[in-house]
Structure 1
């Protein structure tokens, strides 16, 4: 797909100009304080928070990766989306009250209030590296791959175009511009993905498929099962995904600055909780509009795609989308990459300003903090542009990014969760768990990927004999054990931020009912696709 009609180009250009314009207009003539730039003045409502959480999470990696996963393995990869609903409930009821009560700007600040400054420094380093190398770098590369397929532009040129369009409003406007544009991008994402799903369904009769039963027979019934305890084909079972993803999901949704920053900008605790639950409902959609299209592509374009499974989504766009709608779908892909990159740039600049510069120069005024945030955002974006083209030789992006997160996520989750649930944990326990837990995970990762036995030709693909989801659960158990042992043997007196464990006010009845409804909805969906 190297040519594109003029009307599609107009749709794409209109989208790019519109998003940049909306982002800049949202802060036009506004004199921004540091709270306004980094936390949107703590004015965000539930709808904006929920849409922003969804858009920040759905990157081009999702759109391309989930379509590929649906094609190769089926709906089972939808667990990564549906489990998020449970993790967002945990964010609402366990983490949000603590975050808003302690009045933090960054999550490393939260660890300092609970433990000490050492844990703050370690988490800040982890978070900045994750934003730079994974959130921004991987998203830019995945978006550039789509640009290459659509326009025939080289990946480096595509990366620069996407980075410039996203960087302008993100660096100038801060979190306000980011969340407002993400609310718009959520609509574009859903519209584009829904359109290609419908068009694929309408094409099925041409293949002789007129019923759900015939579709199951064509693609193999197991492709439409969300629960599977057999790991012989896909390499993991439902139980692996349940426990492994729970750890990754708690890290991502509850302790990652890129995501949680939207919650920190809420106008109240109730609005923050409602926003998290709204995002949980939105996370139901990707299974139907991102994974299922990959399954439909297996029925429609199996021979054309062949072994080039990364081309699933581009092939569907090329074969299904008429003039005009192709532009909409490319706009949806751009919405995905721009929202993820914008979120990561904003969070990364926030971390650098408050956890690096604010420590070095505590007397920085508001104007200097905003200026520093803009400069660091630009530097981070340039660094990601330089780094991202080197991702071309790595494996499947969607699985890769989760594997990389599994190195440090388990130790972070252990430190946050145990620190909230109990006052027994000490500063030494948190610091050494973050360091040693991540080093242990990194060592296992290296053994799994690169250890050879009996010569170079004898590559150990199975490694320790457990998949990366099982490894994630193992890393978490190791971190918990390490944390508990150090806490119970540590004689150091622990100083915790005053009021940290004050009783948490009960949620509103609306919040409680929506959480129960979300949970019931998830159970019904699993019953249907069991």
Structure 2
């Protein structure tokens, strides 16, 4: 394993010091009140919100996983990024008005206002567990694995270093620190990924590839088709990806505290909407700077990578990046880990303070809330560090994390979407949908992972069994959850009192927001036409 060059070490250390300094410097005024600490004093503008949404989403799982997916199957996996653009438009035009007009601090609080306290408790539990075990733990482990592959660093040592640096500015500074550092990390992420893409393109002529047609011939034209999918190889169809991702995407972008907390800290409704749409434009980039490098690796390093497809990104870093720029790429990888962890850590603290302690003792002072937030943030960080190394025994990280999200995401989406579009949904319907829909999905997950039925493992998703892959399962779970919700609402005679602000007449959206939304949809349609 190659040793880290001194110049690269200096770049990495300088990056870490700068991030901590920037995070603490910009947060020094906002953390004096609980609103300042948890919601950045509701002062966030569109550019910071958009960049923060992007950085919160892009983890090391993306950088490594998308490069690997590009190498194996091609640009089709970029749909997981491009579909997000449409889901961010849904966040801007449908969900943001409800969230900001109801003046909530957490999304479980939103469910209490729309339904009752039972749904708030269930969603708070789901959200805290997701942040602790999936958002933070998986990000730690995925980042540490990459550093081990590139530099031979011990996984636990890498996790502790990342956790310490991220914890300092996140726990001390609150949401302001998180979003400001995420804005800086967005730049680092894009620069690092763009650099390796350009260096790979620059290398192509050396192996006789001078045109786009020659590249298609070298890597297989199907790798450059966004709607092509080898169903025999993976068991997915494009429609599975479309509908399965729609459910996961609405949950993630529109109802997950880790993401939506940036929107709740917006200066105004218009700034929040513009931020979401800006993030939609940014989500176009990963296909070109994260998936495409994996496709280029087929032409450049196929023999070296062989069957070890998880080494696609590390191989490209070691072969393409000169001294100094290698440090930049490691900084980009660190940015991916730290931004995801910081976002989840901050949201977890907010959930615990407002949905646990504030319910137990409603008259908590601002100082008490901030102190509890810092303490719980530290506890969550320690727990995540303790359990994340065990992820090595759980198989493919990217698919695993999405499968785990699909356990509770469909029922949450059903409760939020149906509760917003209709007054008829009842509190009992929401509560039993969250429990029943998630319990059913959890049972299927258990059968898939740990049971053998008729001598066949993974019975439900295997061709020998029912042949229902996890993406298809996700939207089937949504249909089941919606059926539970609508059935109970129909027969439930309980009178549901809904606050007036839930269904206020919607004001005419800004022309700028409308134009940008149409432009974003237009750009996406052009991209799909090009890569059809």
Aligned mates of 2:44, 2:361 — CA distance in 1: 29
Whether 1:487 and 2:489 are equivalent positions in the alignment is yes
Q: Secondary structure at the match of 1:153?
A: coil
Measured in 2, the distance between the counterparts of 1:345 and 1:2 equals: 33
Equivalents in 2 of 1:265, 1:296: separation in Å? Answer: 40
Q: Does 1:529 align with 2:508?
A: no
Report the Cα offset of residue 458 of structure 1: 6.0
Q: Is it true that 1:167 corresponds to 2:167 in the alignment?
A: yes
- Return the offset for 1:234: 2.8
Aligned-residue offset at 1:400:
1.6
1:398-455 Cα offsets, whole Å, 9 max, x none, are 2221111111000000000000000000000000000000011111222223331344
Q: Quote the Cα distance in structure 2 between the aligned partners of 1:447 and 1:520.
A: 42
Structure 1 CA distance for aligned equivalents of residues 82 and 262 of structure 2:
21
CA distance in 2, matches of 1:503, 1:119: 26
Q: Deviations over 1:201-224 (max 9, x none)?
A: 111122221111111111111111
Give the match for residue 261 of structure 2: 261
Q: Cα distance, 1:505 vs. partner? A: 1.3
Q: Residue 108 of structure 2 contacts residue 121 of structure 2 at CA under 8 Å; is this kept in 1?
A: yes
- Which residue of 1 is the match for residue 440 of structure 2? 440
Q: Note if 1:470 corresponds to 2:459.
A: no
Q: Which residue of 1 aligns with 2:331?
A: 331
Q: Any conservation in 2 of the 1:410–1:476 contact (CA below 8 Å)?
A: yes
Partner of 1:59: 59
CA contact (8 A) 1:407 1:442 kept: yes
Residue number in structure 1 paired with 2:512: 510
Q: How big is each residue's C-alpha offset from its partner over 1:105-160, in whole Å with a ceiling of 9 and x where there is no partner? A: 00000000000000000000000000000000000001111221233221111100
- 3-state SS in 1 of match to 2:502: coil
Q: For residue 179 of structure 2, what is the aligned residue in structure 1?
A: 179
SS at 1:233 equivalent: helix
Trace 1:94-493 onto structure 2 (pairs within 5 A).
94-228=94-228, 231-455=231-455, 460=459, 462=462, 463-493=465-495
Paired with 2:499 and 2:192, the residues of 1 have a C-alpha distance of: 47
TM-score, normalization by structure 1: 0.98
* Aligned-pair Cα RMSD in Å: 1.2
> For residues 253 and 350 of structure 1, what CA distance do their matches in structure 2 show?
18
C-alpha distance after superposition, 1:222-264 (max 9, x if no partner): 1110002652223211111110000000000000000000000
CA distance, structure 2, for counterparts of residue 458 and residue 442 of structure 1: 17
What is the CA–CA distance in structure 1 between the aligned matches of 2:375 and 2:488, rounded to whole Å?
Answer: 40
Q: Return the alpha-carbon distance in structure 2 between the equivalents of residues 189 and 249 of structure 1.
A: 22
Q: Which residue of 2 aligns with 1:500?
A: 502
TM-aligned CA distance change 1:229 to 1:141, over 3 Å? closer
Judged with a 3 Å threshold, the aligned counterparts in structure 2 of structure 1 residues 229 and 219 are, in CA distance, closer, same or farther, namely closer
Task: State the distance in 2 between where 1:95 and 1:209 align.
Answer: 47
In 2 relative to 1, CA 100–459 (structure 1 residues): closer, same or farther, beyond 3 Å?
closer
1:30/1:475 CA distance change after superposition, 3 Å: closer
* Between 94-103 and 293-302, the greater mean CA deviation after superposition: 293-302
TM-score by length of 2: 0.98
> SS at the partner of 2:494?
coil
Report the more deviating stretch, 444-453 or 193-202.
Answer: 444-453
Aligned residues: 529
Question: 2: CA distance between counterparts of 1:468 and 1:151?
Answer: 34
Instruction: Measure how far apart 1:162 and its partner are.
Output: 0.4
Residues 2 and 89 of structure 1: CA distance in aligned 2, closer, same or farther (over 3 Å):
same
Matches of 1:179 and 1:499, distance apart in 2: 29
| CA shift for structure 1 position 55 | 0.2
Deviates most, 491-500 or 327-336: 491-500
Secondary structure of residue in 2 paired with 1:506: coil
How far off its partner does 1:34 sit?
A: 0.3
Larger mean Cα displacement after TM superposition, 197-206 or 226-235:
226-235
Contact 1:140 1:159 in 2 (8 A): yes
